[in-house]
Structure 1
Amino acid sequence: MKAQEIKYIMIAAYILLNGMVMNKTKDRIRIFNSFEEAKATEIQNIIKQSPIDRLRHTVELILRVYQVSREDLKSRTATGKIRIIKAG
């Protein structure tokens, strides 16, 4: 594999794994030379976020993973029981 191909694979993997972490308002794509550099940048971006934004992103990720919408959550009533839903 050529170095350029490896770089593109690293970029694609980084975007797939860390899409929620990166700031979506930027209109440019940054190409990293290593996973370590990408991870250091990711950590700096997380540090810059407010705790409320980090919690909001976490909740959104959980809702996407379990395929639950906010409307579903609002329509549920508290039963005092834990309900496990199997997807798919």
Structure 2
Amino acid sequence: MRLAQYVKFREEKFGGVLFETRSEKVFTLTPTAAAVVREIVAGTATADIAPRLATRFEASGGTIEREVEAFITEMRDKGLVAD
């Protein structure tokens, strides 16, 4: 998975920003959402994102897995990521 062709990511103090350049839509990201996007940009396999974040944020693997899956689904629905 990767960011869609017209999507740019920028880290910010509050988390991050996704900018969809065709529609000029801006999406603000929480620190956790920005961490997911960083993993995508780094080329991490989708199945490996949740376990890596569970370790980083010292959270339950099941909780993080559900949140990561929901966030990735939302990004797919909005056309922000491509497989």
Specify if TM > 0.5. no
Looking at CA atoms only, which structure, 1 or 2, has the larger radius of gyration? 1
Higher fraction of strand: 2
Question: What is the TM-score with the length of structure 1 in the denominator?
Answer: 0.26
Between 1 and 2, higher relative CO (CA 8 Å, sep ≥ 6) is seen in 2
Higher fraction of helix: 1
Question: What is the TM-score with the length of structure 2 in the denominator?
Answer: 0.28
